[in-house]
């Protein structure tokens, strides 16, 4: 039973985009690992940009340096 966890920043990811991610990653696991899509679970976590870091900085600071 595959469990796939996708983490993205909370920057306007639409319901449709989430549906595409879930369908796409499920299909990939079916094709690559020969897993049953019925028992494949996908969770999308949206992380606030203050809680996401890259290059030693908060992502919110990198995209809004004046704050």
Q: List residues with catalytic annotation.
A: 2
Q: Which helix (H) or strand (E) holds 25?
A: helix 15-33
Any bridge partners for residue 46, and if so which?
8
Calpha distance 39→12 (Å, rounded): 29
């Amino acid at each position: 039973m595959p469990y796939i966890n996708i983490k993205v920043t909370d920057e306007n990811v639409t319901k449709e985009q989430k549906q595409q991610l879930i369908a796409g990653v499920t299909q990939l696991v079916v094709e690559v690992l020969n897993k049953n899509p019925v028992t494949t679970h996908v969770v999308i976590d949206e992380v606030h940009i203050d809680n996401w870091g890259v290059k030693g900085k908060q992502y919110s600071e990198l995209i809004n340096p004046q704050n």
